[in-house]
Structure 1
Amino acid sequence: MVSPQEVFTPEDFNDEQRMIAKTTADFVNNEVLPNMEKLEEQYKTGDFSLTVSLLRKAADIGLLAGDIPAKYGGLELDKVCQMLVSEFISRSGGFSVSLGGHTGIGTWPITYFGTPEQKAYYLPKLGTGEWLAAYALSEPGSGSDALGARAKAVLNAEGTHYILNGTKMWISNAGFADIFIVFCKVDGEKFSAFIVHRDYPGVSTGKEENKMGIHSSSTRQLILENVPVPKENLLGEIGKGHLIAFNCLNLGRYKLGGGVVGGAKSILEHTAKYVMERKQFDRPIGSFGAIKHKIGEMVARIYATESMSYRTAGLIHNILADVDADDVDRILKGIEEYAIECSIMKVYGSEMLGYVADEAVQSFGGYGYSEEYPVARAYRDARINRIFEGTNEINRLLIPGMLLKRSMRGELPLMQATQRILDELLAGPSFDEEDDAPLSKERKAIVDAKKIALLIAGIAVQKYGQKLTEEQEVLIAFSDIAMDVFAMESSYLRALKLHQSRPHETTTRDALAATQVFINDAVGRIELTARRILPTISEGDNLRIQLAAIKRFSKYEMVDTVRLRRYLADRAYEVQGYPVFTI
């Protein structure tokens, strides 16, 4: 357990961060949202000139240059500012995909892996919007298995150009991008990355994909037919393309954490207003318990995701605070340190957004299914987030995979911690003294939930060893527990920090209520998941002892979540949106 003072929360935003958030929000409200209907129609004609125009307007106020070092004309914003841009731009639906695809995975490979010459040439143009970028990794036959790519690069006889052949699939911004970050295998074997210009001979794109959602973004195939790419456009080292691909995806997952929070808050605003305007049986439907449950649950889940997203942004900011913008190795090492948290944010956040969008449609009833109302688009747009940046299934496998690798390298005392839990079980139950401190019961629930996570991990490692990587159901169960633990702890630390600094404020009561609702239900989810997977990894007397341990560690004095959800719903109606925090 860490202290509340060690975590960064939205309440800690400084003036610069608040200014960046307001600038982004004003741009979205004044420039993008009034054009949403036109933006949504672009995919039918393939003409994305409106998107390009808006991206260049965004560049005029610095929104394309946040991640770019100052020496190359960028703003070099801290990681919290960058998360805030993602949160507030996300209210623009598919347009946020266009902007994020350019500023994120389209620009990061050059920012972090380019040579000094590549950075000096490309980054100023990307920051001003003179050139727009896209990231080309997936192929028709390789999605999650990115290293299975078949696109090929061969150096010509003169040694001046690589000749690229292949097809890339699901490429955001493909309809208008000027440059593409393309991953190919040199000589069909060495996975590598190249900067490819749209106007190179042999570069073409397919037709616009007829997607379920994010209609205001361009998505096409990128087709490469004997494309000559100057050897100077190789990014990084030959055969080291996976470092570029996976590090940029980690960063994308971190940014997505802020994006889903912003999207969910926007949906909640629409829903909270609607359910108090819509009347049935002579009263607003928002006054009924069934709707209050939905609204209160939306608030609790958004709060938990917001808490862990900005906690992670703060951790990454702190580890990179004294790192020079050109010190790529230290930057990537800092990001890798929190790669697990980035995957958690991606999975938890995208599923939170899916829940909020689904319940919004349900709250609107038949009108929610109509394209005349905003939640229909939000519902369609939300679904892609569980596929973007590596599917949620892949990320659920990455979370324990990264933990186990660190344990094997001696960086994480996993087995020692598990043994302490087993020793505690053999010693029998302890009788803790009553603690009247705020959220003391929730703190104990988190400590015990961590013990359950360690117990499951340790038993699984003991049974399967290195073969554990093949037991995906076990890995996914552990991930679900670990994600709930991180969300519980992040929610608790933020609420306690608020209580210690602003004990009498209404938003503090909001945070305490959201924390109690979330932890109350998370304890039940963790217990159920642990009981479901234990018979797979244990048996006999050991299983009986371990099931008893799960019961012991799941002991929690339940709270009245009906009352608390009603309170959170009433607060959402009062502020017509998310009550816990506003810029």
Structure 2
Amino acid sequence: MANKTLAIGGGFIIEDTDPNSIVTPESLTDEQRMIAETTTSFVEAEVSPHQEQIEGLDYELTVKLLRKAGEIGLLSTEIPEAYGGLGLDKMSATLINERVSKAGSFGLSLGAHTGIGTLPIVYFGNEQQKQKYLPKLATGEWIAAYCLTEPSSGSDALGAKTTARLSDDGKYYILNGTKQFITNAGFADVFVVYAKVDGKLFSTFIVERTMPGVSVGPEEQKMGIKGSSTRQLILEDVHVPVENLLYEVGKGHQIAFNILNIGRFKLAAGAVGGSKDAIELAAHYANERQQFGRKISSFPLIQQKLARMNTRTFVLESVVYRTAGLLDAALADVDVTGPNAGMLSAKAIAEYAIECSINKVFASETLDYVVDEALQIHGGYGFIKEYKVERMYRDSRINRIFEGTNEINRLLIPGTMLRRAMKGELPLLQKAQALQAELMQMTPALSAPEGTLAEEAQYIANAKRIFLMVGGLAAQAFQQRVDEEQEVLSNLADIAILTFAMESAWLRTMQHVERAGEGACANAIAMTKAFAYESLGEIERLAKECLARIEQGDALRMQLSVVKRLARRTELDIIGLEREIGRAVVDAEQYVC
């Protein structure tokens, strides 16, 4: 259930959210549960038995399976009914992305097709383009690929060198250039390609594989995701009909950046599924493996690993489904069949660019952590190819690079907040200024707040104050030079990420407690407590590091004392909490919430 009044993108840092206003995995409809079950059944029955063949880069099998997925609606969730799709919400698409991630490389092939490959046409295509391409993309008759990266431009997308020149007769754009690391390139039929018209106007084109001058390079020999096709797309005097210009000349950046936002979010959904899969594998192995005359799952340090893996995954899941609700609410009133679909879609998606970057960074680093620990639990066997966790370990690493590196996304979070504040879209600076007076008058609390997770609610409120305080001081100190202080911006991003993550877990747990009672939410409460406690400690460290760069002398000592007050925590038996969580994972032999 999404907010009726749209939440402001990035507004979580300056305002409170009602727990009943967010979407959680516990609030799925029967139809959404059926979609999740259908996806799980498809992966288990159709994909998993052929995993080794897929990893050997069997194009024919991958395409066959994509078409089977199309037959049961897994490729058409976000395509409007008018063009042969199901026209469902982001929640439904999130469930598919999460479940299909268990299929490894095949999940990437499917995700690239349904997400960054198809959605540019859904959101920005004209009626003729939608009628021509979407029905075939919905069934898998045609497979899509997204072509933004070039050999000399990755994160700097606007530095692309691929060119498009209008032909003398005005009927074609003639494209020349090379695109790098293109997923699905080996078998895709349709390519969404970015090029500069006359070498300067960044624009987007729909290119078909059969057009003369289109070719692909050899397969890249990758460390992971070996079952997905990754090649160069080479364009040599490709005559693309003018009707294949997507949206408008010079507005390719609107498509590129907003589709990247969706891609970042979808990556996070996949990371939820991957993390759950790793927990299940690790818990099962720990229950099977015996050392020193007992199951290794009985050792506290193994339980601690499983507890921390599970907690991070619980928080990530809370972040992803909260964001799915935000995107659904923003896109709910956009008629993607209407004449202004592109402009309205771009505005709706851009609203939550900050949240999408948060999802991407937190998800990719959570998955890396969880899979790394899963391999560690397997010991030497985790390093052996026949164990699935070995492949998962290699596959997970790319996620910190995909869809904009984590470094770029970290810079985007505070940078986008500041730009929105300058435009009057986010009252960040006003809140930061008002906070200064409040902080000088703060007195230590005499007792801890009472009630379910009341103390954690205070931690979240203080985390927001710390972000505003440090961010405001950084803006004042560095002014126009703030972009050069990348270490400070990265720390601010991490404070924002941890704050959004803490709050998402807290909101989800409070919503569930209200509906089911504390007894039914013991694990969720324990995980929320543990994550909030540790996150506030990390936020304090990050803030102090920033302040030492911003201030000096008495001013620094005063600001450090304020942060120390804001980050004060009641000591928590974190070992005891994690033992409870760990035992629950061992007993269930899977992810628990």
TM-score w.r.t. length of structure 1:
0.97
Residue 164 (structure 2) pairs with residue 153 (structure 1): yes
Aligned partners of 1:245, 1:236: CA distance in 2, in Å?
11
Residue 589 (structure 2) pairs with residue 576 (structure 1): yes
- Partner letter of residue 347 of structure 1? V
State the Cα distance separating 1:40 from its structure 2 match: 0.5
Residue 166 of structure 1 aligns to a residue whose secondary structure is strand
Aligned partners of 2:571, 2:313: CA distance in 1, in Å?
21
Decide which of 483, 499, 518 is 2:513's aligned counterpart: 499
- Partner letter of residue 496 of structure 2? A
Aligned partners of 1:262, 1:397: CA distance in 2, in Å?
27
State the Cα distance separating 1:58 from its structure 2 match: 0.2
User: In structure 2, what is the equivalent of residue 360 of structure 1?
Assistant: 374
Does the 8 Å CA contact 2:205/2:245 hold for their aligned counterparts? Answer: yes
Alignment of 1:254-269 (within 5 A): 254-269=265-280
Does the 8 Å CA contact 2:148/2:194 hold for their aligned counterparts? Answer: yes
State the Cα distance separating 1:116 from its structure 2 match: 0.8
Residue 489 (structure 2) pairs with residue 454 (structure 1): no
What per-residue deviation string (whole Å, max 9, x for no partner) do you get for residues 242-288 of structure 1?
Answer: 11111100111111121100010001000000011101000111111
Alignment of 1:89-100 (within 5 A): 89-100=100-111
Decide which of 18, 26, 29 is 2:33's aligned counterpart: 18
In the superposition, relative to structure 1, how do residues 405 and 504 fare at CA in structure 2: closer, same or farther (>3 Å)? closer
Does the 8 Å CA contact 2:255/2:346 hold for their aligned counterparts? Answer: no
State the Cα distance separating 1:329 from its structure 2 match: 2.8
State the Cα distance separating 1:328 from its structure 2 match: 3.5
Residue 552 (structure 2) pairs with residue 535 (structure 1): no
Residue 512 (structure 2) pairs with residue 512 (structure 1): no
In the superposition, relative to structure 1, how do residues 428 and 66 fare at CA in structure 2: closer, same or farther (>3 Å)? closer
Aligned partners of 2:97, 2:170: CA distance in 1, in Å?
42
Aligned partners of 1:482, 1:566: CA distance in 2, in Å?
29
Alignment of 1:183-262 (within 5 A): 183-262=194-273
Q: Any gaps of 5 or more consecutive residues in structure 1?
A: none
TM-score w.r.t. length of structure 2:
0.95
User: In structure 1, what is the equivalent of residue 12 of structure 2?
Assistant: none
Residue 204 of structure 1 aligns to a residue whose secondary structure is strand
- Partner letter of residue 331 of structure 1? S
State the Cα distance separating 1:319 from its structure 2 match: 2.7
What per-residue deviation string (whole Å, max 9, x for no partner) do you get for residues 40-91 of structure 1?
Answer: 012xxxx411100000000000111111111111111111111111100111
State the Cα distance separating 1:165 from its structure 2 match: 0.9
Residue 56 of structure 2 aligns to a residue whose secondary structure is helix
User: In structure 2, what is the equivalent of residue 175 of structure 1?
Assistant: 186
Alignment of 1:312-391 (within 5 A): 312-326=323-337, 327-391=341-405
State the Cα distance separating 1:237 from its structure 2 match: 1.0
Does the 8 Å CA contact 2:448/2:455 hold for their aligned counterparts? Answer: no
Aligned partners of 1:125, 1:434: CA distance in 2, in Å?
60
Does the 8 Å CA contact 2:173/2:239 hold for their aligned counterparts? Answer: yes
User: In structure 1, what is the equivalent of residue 459 of structure 2?
Assistant: 445
State the Cα distance separating 1:325 from its structure 2 match: 2.7
State the Cα distance separating 1:573 from its structure 2 match: 1.4
Residue 217 of structure 1 aligns to a residue whose secondary structure is coil
Decide which of 567, 572, 582 is 1:554's aligned counterpart: 567
User: In structure 1, what is the equivalent of residue 307 of structure 2?
Assistant: 296
- Partner letter of residue 544 of structure 1? R
Aligned partners of 1:290, 1:505: CA distance in 2, in Å?
26
Aligned partners of 2:94, 2:480: CA distance in 1, in Å?
36
- Partner letter of residue 561 of structure 1? I
Residue 407 (structure 2) pairs with residue 393 (structure 1): yes
State the Cα distance separating 1:470 from its structure 2 match: 2.0
Decide which of 24, 40, 50 is 1:35's aligned counterpart: 50
What per-residue deviation string (whole Å, max 9, x for no partner) do you get for residues 392-417 of structure 1?
Answer: 11100111111001110112222221
In the superposition, relative to structure 1, how do residues 515 and 434 fare at CA in structure 2: closer, same or farther (>3 Å)? closer
- Partner letter of residue 539 of structure 1? Q
What per-residue deviation string (whole Å, max 9, x for no partner) do you get for residues 340-393 of structure 1?
Answer: 111100000000000001011111000000011010011011111111111111
Residue 18 (structure 2) pairs with residue 3 (structure 1): yes
Residue 163 of structure 1 aligns to a residue whose secondary structure is strand
Aligned partners of 1:432, 1:416: CA distance in 2, in Å?
29
Alignment of 1:117-156 (within 5 A): 117-156=128-167
User: In structure 1, what is the equivalent of residue 13 of structure 2?
Assistant: none
Residue 240 of structure 2 aligns to a residue whose secondary structure is strand
State the Cα distance separating 1:542 from its structure 2 match: 1.5
Residue 490 of structure 1 aligns to a residue whose secondary structure is helix
State the Cα distance separating 1:430 from its structure 2 match: 5.0
Aligned partners of 2:570, 2:280: CA distance in 1, in Å?
33
Aligned partners of 2:43, 2:149: CA distance in 1, in Å?
30
Residue 443 (structure 2) pairs with residue 429 (structure 1): yes
What per-residue deviation string (whole Å, max 9, x for no partner) do you get for residues 530-561 of structure 1?
Answer: 11121111122221111001100000112111
User: In structure 2, what is the equivalent of residue 487 of structure 1?
Assistant: 501
Does the 8 Å CA contact 2:174/2:238 hold for their aligned counterparts? Answer: yes
User: In structure 1, what is the equivalent of residue 288 of structure 2?
Assistant: 277
Residue 256 of structure 2 aligns to a residue whose secondary structure is helix
- Of 317-326 and 259-268, deviating more is 317-326
RMSD over aligned Cα, in angstroms?
A: 1.2
Residue 124 (structure 2) pairs with residue 113 (structure 1): yes
Q: Any gaps of 5 or more consecutive residues in structure 2?
A: 1-15
